[in-house]
Structure 1
Amino acid sequence: MKNTPFDTLNLNLIKVFLSLYESLNTYRTAKQLNLSQPAISRHLQKLRYAFNDPLFVKVHKGLKPTNKAHFLAEKLPEIWRDLEEVINHEEEFQIEKLSGQLNIALHPLYIDLLSDKLFIELKQRASNVQLVISVWSNDTEAQLLEGKLDFGITIDPLDMSKEVSQRRLPKLYAKLYLNNQHPLIDEQINQHTFSKYALAILHVRGWNEHITYTERYLSRFGVTPKIEYRSPHPSSILNVVSQTQLLHPIVANYYDLSSEQVSKKFIYIEDSPLMLDSAFCYHYRHRNSPIHQWFYETIEDMLQHEYRRDHVQLESVAPCFDARAETIL
């Protein structure tokens, strides 16, 4: 029976191929894999023999992939990662054994809500993990697909690649912060409120420098809000709100807020409290990963606690309501 390329291929050569395809340079590949350049050249010869194709041809500034190489580079990475996951799978996942750097992206509305809680939880349970949090931006989807981010939390739903899985998280109430002397302090906040008073908005580059979710959502009611102040710092926004009639829509609870100056009110749309859907996003190759499952459940508990806290407060001022899920911020 004739051997196929798979029968004669050393699987370690796949790592060499993927590195070569990314760098298109034997020197950089050798450095990345801690091998010598002659060793990389020998591995490339074996790859060419196994696939019966040159795979890479020399050009002035390095290597140029053939059509066969492009085909392999499209198919192999996910197969390779799935194979790694199967081989490295542990029957019982122990968070205490986790180590290394964890890279996640949080939607700006969840930075204050989750970042410190996640760090403290990891510090107590997995002290060898270094947590790196970035703000969800226009590049986040690509970084999830490229493996540069482990997962992300954002407002849902998003129109993303089918390779990015989105698991729903508990809904959260939309809120508005305003000066205690504001004319609206005893009024219900609804979509019409935003046509009467200017806003102070959390400004994050790569997320809402052109148009905010508030503007997009209110446009369906024919409302164009006036945004007078933008800042990346919540403390600055709250300071401005405390001294003006500007309104600040957000999902986060500011627990260190001085109630003597600023108050929180819930936002209503057609007499129902407005809620935000959120999602846990990750590359689908991690769909069976116990690490991602642990983080999903941990974040789910954190958001569920936040929801219950707001729910109790909302019931105390409006015992009967029908909460509906919408996205505004």
Structure 2
Amino acid sequence: MSQLDLNLLKVFRVLIEVKNTRKAAEILHLSQPAVSRALRRLRDYFGDELFVRTAHGLEPTSKALVIGSRLPEAMDQLFEALHVEEEFDPYLYSGKVTIAVNGFIAHWLVPPLIKMLTERAPNMEIYMADWEESTPDQIIDGEIQLAINYFPLELTKQLIQERLGTDDFVVLCRKEHPLQKEVIQVEDFLKYPLASHIVPGWNETKNFAVDALRKLGCQPQVQLSSSKMNIILRSLELTDMLLPCSKLLAATLSDRFRVLKIDPKLEQPSSEFALIYANKSRRNPLDEWLQQCVIDCVFGKLR
């Protein structure tokens, strides 16, 4: 052990996750040559190649896989043992925090969350970001303190997904819409076009509603796709389009729109949502406080 620098284990931990020296260098804020030098030292120490270069990146050897299966938990225990509890007073905090939220969730959760944060930390600068494809990397890099999205997601083990609650999905339409039903059936989706709210990194490449309808032999028309919810809602008020959306979101708009339940035969995406944060910052006093605020806010909305 006297020959092993613990910083090398940090490099190994990231390499076993991303299997790419360039990507590891970005996450660790190191140069690519520095990561390559660290890998050479790791190979010397363990007496094994650890990673073999292929056309698709680095392929871990069997020894690297064994070490990689044990190392994250061991390192987390080590850092937790060395952690010294710090006091955190939100009322005195004057820094900036960034929280990323899935667009469907943002509309019903963010306003009460901002109210709670500003009451508890009046000097805090809050930046609310959309969930995007780059969000997981930004959380790992510390650019985003935490995020909220539907659960589960395929994420690196460097991130923790902590279940917060369960939403549901409904269909939204204008109050005077000709479809006067409480439950929308599969065949109704052939009569009226759809609007789709695009959330990068979540449904950007897969339209859950369209996929579910196709499985039942229905080919719907998607007439409007946008990442801007205000554009979609205004268009919904002026047309006969239908918007599959979050039930909790719909509840905040019920005086402006009609809410239709979805036929149980239609397959729906997971309605559970989670708090997502970096494993390495789970004992950070500010991050812990933010996480608790989100939990308190969600509990207040769902009870």
Instruction: Report the TM-score, using the length of structure 2 for normalisation.
Output: 0.67
Aligned residues: 255
Alignment of 1:259-278 (within 5 A): 259=255, 262-270=257-265, 276-278=271-273
Higher mean C-alpha displacement, 200-209 vs 142-151:
200-209
Q: 2:38 aligns with which of 69, 77, 81?
A: 69
Question: Alpha carbons of 1:67 and 1:182: their partners in 2 closer, same or farther (altered >3 Å)?
Answer: closer
Q: 2: CA distance between counterparts of 1:207 and 1:224?
A: 22
Aligned-residue offset at 1:164: 1.2
Q: 1: CA distance between counterparts of 2:36 and 2:235?
A: 58
Q: Confirm or deny: 8 A CA contact 1:165 1:284 kept in the other structure.
A: yes
Alignment of 1:158-177 (within 5 A): 158-177=153-172
Q: 1: CA distance between counterparts of 2:199 and 2:270?
A: 22
Q: 1: CA distance between counterparts of 2:268 and 2:134?
A: 32
Q: Confirm or deny: 8 A CA contact 1:170 1:300 kept in the other structure.
A: no
Q: 2: CA distance between counterparts of 1:177 and 1:151?
A: 29
Q: Partner amino acid for 2:171?
A: L
Q: Confirm or deny: 8 A CA contact 2:172 2:250 kept in the other structure.
A: no
Is 2:176 the counterpart of 1:181? yes
Aligned-residue offset at 1:237: 1.9
Q: Confirm or deny: 8 A CA contact 1:191 1:269 kept in the other structure.
A: no
Aligned-residue offset at 1:79: 6.2
Q: Partner amino acid for 1:212?
A: N
Q: 2: CA distance between counterparts of 1:286 and 1:192?
A: 49
Partner deviation per Cα, 1:86-119 (whole Å, 9 max, x = no partner):
45522x6543344412122111112212222222
Matched with 1:108 is: 103
Alignment of 1:215-230 (within 5 A): 215-230=210-225
Structure 1, unpaired ranges of 5+: 8-17, 25-62, 309-329
Matched with 1:137 is: 132
Aligned-residue offset at 1:191: 4.7
Alignment of 1:205-216 (within 5 A): 207-216=202-211
Aligned-residue offset at 1:298: 2.7
Q: 2: CA distance between counterparts of 1:108 and 1:271?
A: 22
Please state whether the residue corresponding to 1:176 is helix, strand or coil. strand
Q: Confirm or deny: 8 A CA contact 1:178 1:185 kept in the other structure.
A: no
Question: Alpha carbons of 1:166 and 1:127: their partners in 2 closer, same or farther (altered >3 Å)?
Answer: same
Instruction: Report the TM-score, using the length of structure 1 for normalisation.
Output: 0.62
Matched with 2:90 is: 95
Q: 1: CA distance between counterparts of 2:205 and 2:266?
A: 30
Q: Partner amino acid for 2:29?
A: E
Aligned-residue offset at 1:125: 0.7
Q: 2: CA distance between counterparts of 1:276 and 1:179?
A: 24
Please state whether the residue corresponding to 1:158 is helix, strand or coil. coil
Aligned-residue offset at 1:177: 1.3
Higher mean C-alpha displacement, 139-148 vs 64-73:
64-73
Question: Alpha carbons of 1:217 and 1:99: their partners in 2 closer, same or farther (altered >3 Å)?
Answer: farther
Between the two proteins, what is the percent identity of the paired residues?
24
Question: Alpha carbons of 1:209 and 1:121: their partners in 2 closer, same or farther (altered >3 Å)?
Answer: same
Q: Confirm or deny: 8 A CA contact 1:103 1:132 kept in the other structure.
A: yes
Q: Confirm or deny: 8 A CA contact 1:268 1:274 kept in the other structure.
A: no
Please state whether the residue corresponding to 1:114 is helix, strand or coil. helix
Alignment of 1:211-290 (within 5 A): 211-251=206-246, 252-253=248-249, 257=253, 259=255, 262-270=257-265, 276-290=271-285
Q: Confirm or deny: 8 A CA contact 1:199 1:226 kept in the other structure.
A: yes
Q: Confirm or deny: 8 A CA contact 2:165 2:272 kept in the other structure.
A: yes
Q: 2: CA distance between counterparts of 1:72 and 1:150?
A: 33
Q: 2:196 aligns with which of 201, 205, 216?
A: 201
Q: Partner amino acid for 1:253?
A: L
Question: Alpha carbons of 1:118 and 1:69: their partners in 2 closer, same or farther (altered >3 Å)?
Answer: same
Aligned-residue offset at 1:249: 1.5
Q: Partner amino acid for 2:138?
A: Q
Structure 2, unpaired ranges of 5+: 6-24, 43-67
Q: 1: CA distance between counterparts of 2:40 and 2:131?
A: 31
Question: Alpha carbons of 1:89 and 1:223: their partners in 2 closer, same or farther (altered >3 Å)?
Answer: farther
Q: Partner amino acid for 1:127?
A: P
Aligned-residue offset at 1:224: 3.6
